[in-house]
Amino acid sequence: MQLQDILYTQGFGTRRVCAGLVQQGFVATGGAVVTDPAADLPTDGLRFTVQGAAWEYHDKAYLMLHKPAGTECSQKPSTWPSIYTLLPSPLRLRPNKGAVQGVQAIGRLDQDTTGLLLLTDDGQFIHRMGSPRHHVPKVYEATVKHPLDAAQIERLLAGVVLDDDPKPVRAAAGEAVGPLHLRLPLTEGKYHQVKRMVAAVGNRVEALHRSAIGALALPEDLTPGQWRWLSAAQVQQLRDGR
């Protein structure tokens, strides 16, 4: 692929801007500056720098982000800063089909909810992970106001009725990790679901954190506000539902 097209697919601007970056000597690969925008380079495992910033070619972007509290999962936030401001510009500007540019969050977390969030520019992957019929489990760690008891856990497992749906909503599993710490895996994604389910059994969520999606757990060394690429194995694992 021509270098100017490589930069364009990775979100470094229009093709004209990308050609200009190359011609001005701002792009290097293998430690050597390349000034020909039409230089043909293999993309497999390609690493390069743009104005000194290191980058690796990815045909599709698959990321994990540790969402901090006080952020919104929206391109146009209303009150709180957007999670997208935590990402480098190329990830926000990657060309995409349709009107929306860049990577998109798969599902949303409330502004006060922290934890694992997946982002991608792969529409099929978004559908696979976000569709209710695929039943991808998501594990939530809830800090509750009142001490948990066995009856509350049993009701969550048996199913509780929320005010917008007469059909009971059940937790896939649930356990009291501590007196005020509830671990709740869910396969659905209703609005404020964890908070409303806990309220339905007579308790209240004081803090909420998503610790895992499918078999992918939030790494302990990924601190709030940080992101990283998913490995090919992690992406495949999520596709396979493992």
pLDDT of residue 242: 61
CA separation, residue 157 to residues 144, 160, 173, 214, 231 (Å):
17, 8, 6, 19, 34
pLDDT of residue 241: 73
Closest CA to 34 of 8, 12, 2, 57: 2
Q: Which parts of the chain sit beneath pLDDT 70?
A: 98-99, 132, 164, 242
Superfamily of 137-213 according to CATH = Alpha-L RNA-binding motif (3.30.70.1560)
| Cα–Cα–Cα angle for 204, 208, 209, rounded to 5 degrees | 160
Q: Which of 58, 189, 74 is nearest to 122 (CA)?
A: 58
Could you tell me which CATH class the domain 62-132+221-240 is placed in?
alpha beta
51: DSSP letter: T
**0.85 exceeded by the pTM?**
yes
* Residue tagged active-site, from 36, 40, 110, 121: 110
pLDDT of residue 99: 60
Told to judge if 240 belongs to the known catalytic residues of this protein, a careful annotator would answer: no
What is the rounded CA–CA span in Å between residue 115 and residue 109? 8
**pLDDT at residue 19 in the model:** 97
Give the pLDDT score at 173.
86
Fold agreement (62-132+221-240, 137-213): yes
CATH of 3-56 among 3.10.290.10, 3.40.309.10, 3.30.1490.20, 3.30.420.40: 3.10.290.10
CA-CA distance, 34 to 48, in Å (whole number)? 10
Alpha-carbon distance of 25 to 46, in angstroms, equals 18
CA distance 214 to 112: 22
Q: Check: CB of residue 137 under 8 Å from CB of residue 241.
A: no
Domains in the chain: boundaries: 3-56, 62-132+221-240, 137-213
